[in-house]
Structure 1
Amino acid sequence: MLIAIWAQDKNGLIGKNNRLPWHLPNDLRFFKATTINHTLVMGRKTFEGMGGRPLPDRQTIVLTRDKNHQATNVLVMHSLEEVLAYDQETQGKTFIAGGSAIYREFLPYCKKIYRTYIEESFEGDAYFPELAWGEWQLIERKQGLTDEKNPYRYYFEIYTRIDA
């Protein structure tokens, strides 16, 4: 099953220079707990923005148009169809983890969304693509804990596709 996962500010911002524009350790813990032992799909720039190494205990797929791209300990794929075939074959949870173009390409195939919504505005250069929210139903919304390390008001949200 394809599942989109991301964090955004109140303006839909998701990145700055291929990195997160904020530091929110609780969101990183949520991302880890949600995706552990599953598959992550991301574009090459997002992968390189994370240091060019796969996250532990997750199968990482790097999607790139560069037929010569190589990366250690990841699967390199070159098309939506390859990823969809992999997802069907494994029948597990495949999390779409960015960037903007990857989300845009895969959202029509996603059955679930995990979104961290941060009630702040940040500076950046990458935004989540337009989403037809009428196709989605909010099934859970939980406010995250704020403290000195997590100073922003934020929510963990889970949506399912209405026709799923």
Structure 2
Amino acid sequence: MLAYVYAEDENGLIGKGDRLPWRLPADVKFFKEVTMQGDVVMGRATYESIPNRPLKGRRNIVLTHNPDYEAPGAIVVNSKKEVLELYEKYAEDFYIIGGVSLFKIFEDDVDYLYRTVIHDEFDGNVYFPDDFDYNEFELEKSWDGNVDENNKHPHTFEIWKRK
């Protein structure tokens, strides 16, 4: 299975520079629970934004155009084709976690979407592709996360499957 894992606000915002524009521990927990089932695929900037990289317990795959790039603890590839070859080789679930260019590159290949919608608006400059066609997917499961002192923003977890 090839899947996206991401969180966005009401306007499709997914980032502010190289950071998330919100603090939502429930989403971090959801992200970890989902991605621990396979491998994570990310672009160079996403890899570099992770404070304690690589993500532990998962094979980390970094897609970059720089053939000399090194990512300690991760597999570095330089093309979509190489990612798909690894996908076939390892026969694991691959979770694409960003950035935007990867969400665009793999939009015809992805089987599932693990999306957290944060019911608020934030300041930022990185958006999920606005031309992504959700009509190709059906909502399989949706549930509201708990709002509490640590998770102050109302949020909904969603799992979408390609039709």
Give me the TM-score of the superposition, normalised by structure 1.
Answer: 0.96
The separation in 1 between residues aligned to 2:102 and 2:47, in whole angstroms, is 12
Off by >4 Å, runs of 4+ in structure 1: none
Q: Deviations over 1:106-132 (max 9, x none)?
A: 121001110000110001111001211
The separation in 1 between residues aligned to 2:52 and 2:70, in whole angstroms, is 11
Deviates more, 1:113-122 or 1:36-45: 36-45
- The alignment status of 1:15 with 2:20, answered yes or no, reads no
What is the letter of the counterpart of residue 124 of structure 2?
G
- Offset at 1:71? 1.3
Question: 1:51-130, aligned counterparts within 5 Å?
Answer: 51=51, 53-129=53-129, 130=131
SS at match of 2:108: helix
Task: Tell me the number of residue pairs that the alignment of Structure 1 and Structure 2 aligns.
Answer: 162
What is the letter of the counterpart of residue 107 of structure 1?
E
Q: Deviations over 1:22-79 (max 9, x none)?
A: 0000100010011114110010001111137111101100110011100111000000
Deviates more, 1:110-119 or 1:46-55: 46-55
Q: Which runs of 5+ in 1 are unaligned?
A: none
Partner in structure 1 of residue 36 of structure 2: 36
Instruction: Give the % identical residues.
Output: 40
Partner in structure 1 of residue 152 of structure 2: 151
The separation in 2 between residues aligned to 1:35 and 1:52, in whole angstroms, is 16
